[in-house]
Amino acid sequence: MVNKNCKSTRRAFMKRTATLSIAPYIVPAWVLGRGGDIAPSNRIVLGGIGIGNRGQHDLKWMLPNSDIYFVAVCDARKERREAVKNMVDQRYGNKDCATYRDIREFLATRTDIDAVLIATGDRWHAMASILAMRSGKDVYSEKPSCMTITEGQAVVETANRYGRIYQTGTQRLSEGNFIFANEMIRTGRLGKVHTVRAHIAPWDAAEMRHDWLPGEPEPSKDEIDWDEWLGPCPWRPYNVAYTRGAWRGHYDFHTSCIGEWGAHTFAQCQVAIGAGDTSAVEYEYVNNPTGDGMVTRFDNGIKMILQMKGWRGSCGVRYEGTEGWVAAADGYSTPDVFPSSLMEDYRKTIYDYTARTQRPLNHVRDFFDCVKSRRPTVANPEVMHRSMTTVHAANICMWLKRNLRYDPVKEEFINDQEANRLRSRAMREPWII
């Protein structure tokens, strides 16, 4: 996919490779598109922002795609920049992967990059996505993809304004068992659906910490650029535990146990019930630390219940109708169903979905295909924002310890100014939307 901003760069690259083709031992065949490889003009030039453990998982998933060429990584931490460079250079058999510490330099100078993988901590997902799309790049962002309702709105607005392709990393929207469950609703096999259940993470709490860890001496800026690592969050003193995952459970950095898995399961449920372009309108407070058992309701009358237990795997969903039910989670070899006859058309149901939608059963492949076709992804900005709005509203309900009503058209809570103030958070300069 040749992005408008890099046509001249790509043209120059093709001219150089054509010139060098007289020395094939210098230019590998895959660079020239020989031997069944993809020609440079059809490649998606990919970069990465904040590639740690989860990001490396995504990158290993992306690199085998023959039409992808990963060229640069940006990360505030030297050890992670070097780890990604080593992985990529080993994959391509060269030393070409470039590294950057500052996201502004990375985005401004790498006009050859068509798309970026963003796998930072939660605090950076929306801001990095917005900056990347403003610089003309398409975005695959890990979840939870926004920290507030306002951030989600800004991601949608930016994608629309700049005509960018965006996929949030709710990969179960592209997996067979979950697709089958969704299709049971769409095709009417469950009868009239009245209840869906969404798995929330069985650790941490909805109420998060507002203190911070004690300060420690900062490493050199080359080892870790602490200002860059914090990004739009309030300034907090450096503590190495943050960089090892201890940011979870802190209000500054996290979206609670509800957002941890709800980013996946709420999106799954809302797409299934035809609410991918809206959010729940009612939230019933439950007097416990986690939100387990909270009932939310949508305008179509369907209720979604936040449920922590009762699954054999992670990120589960269950859909209940007048004619039966279906449940799926990570680790299920096939969905649980009632009646058992629902499983008779399991393979055909998934095949029919792929034929009808022309989408692959592969979330990153769906993103790459959409980068080329400019078709909206299965987990597009609106799906991300609307499902994350439900996450944030459920959190706000727990924080304020009262029932809430929400207007998804006006995108505001009804007659509750305190709740409305929590739709956004203060952002630290220069990282302001």
Do residues 69 and 199 share a domain?
Answer: no
Q: CATH number, domain at 24?
A: 3.40.50.720
Q: Which residues contact 175 (CB under 8 A, 6 or more apart)?
A: 361, 363
- In this structure, are 374 and 299 located in the same domain? yes
Same domain, yes or no, for 268 and 334? yes
| Same domain? 264 vs 202 | yes
Domain count, the chain: 2
pLDDT above 90 (res 25)? no
Q: Looking at the structure, do residues 176 and 115 belong to the same domain, yes or no?
A: no
Average pLDDT over residues 110-130: 98
What's the pLDDT at 2?
A: 42
Q: Is there a domain that residue 149 lies in?
A: no
Is the separation of the CB atoms in 408 and 38 below 8 Å?
no
Gap between the Cα atoms of 110 and 71, Å rounded = 9
Q: Is residue 183 domain-shared with residue 67, that is, in the same domain?
A: no
Segment 330-356 mean pLDDT: 97
- Give domain status of residue 299, yes or no: yes
pLDDT at 38: 72
List Cβ neighbours of 380 (8 Å cut-off, separation of 6 or more): 159, 166, 167, 168
Listed residue (47, 46, 104, 53) closest to 231, CA to CA: 104
The verdict on 85 and 188 lying in the same domain is: no
User: 370 lies in a domain?
Assistant: yes
> Do 326 and 416 fall into the same domain?
yes
Nearest to 135 by CA among 45, 5, 9: 5
**Domain harbouring 392, CATH code:** 3.30.360.10
Conformational region of residue 136, where left means phi above 0, alpha means psi within -120 to 50, and beta covers everything else? left
54-107 pLDDT, tens digit per residue, is 999 999 999 999 999 999 999 999 999 999 999 999 999 999 999 999 999 999
**Helical packing angle, 149-162 and 122-134, nearest 10°:** 20
Confirm whether 155 is domain-assigned: no
Q: What is the mean pLDDT of the chain?
A: 92
Structural domain ending residue among the three candidates 85, 120, 155: 120
Residue 144 domain-assigned (yes or no)? no
List the domain range (segments joined by +) for residue 386: 172-206+254-421
- The pLDDT, as a whole number, for residue 37 is 65
User: Is residue 141 situated within a structural domain?
Assistant: no
Torsion angle in degrees (nearest 10) through CA of 169, 173, 178, 183: 170
Residue 349, domain member (yes or no): yes
Say if residue 83 is in the same domain as residue 199.
no
Specify whether 295 is located in the same domain as 385: yes
Residue 35 has pLDDT above 50, yes or no: no
Please report which confidence band the pLDDT of residue 428 belongs to, taking 50, 70 and 90 as the band edges: very high
Boundary-marking domain end, from 97, 120, 143: 120
Do 109 and 178 share a structural domain?
A: no
- Judge whether 132 lies within some domain: no
Same-domain pairing of 404 and 265: yes
Per-residue pLDDT tens over the stretch 192-207: 999 999 999 999 999 9
DSSP symbols for 154-206:
HHHHHHHHHT--EEES-GGGGSHHHHHHHHHHHTTTT-SEEEEEEE--SSS-S
Q: What phi-psi label fits residue 29: left (phi over 0), alpha (psi between -120 and 50 degrees) or beta?
A: alpha
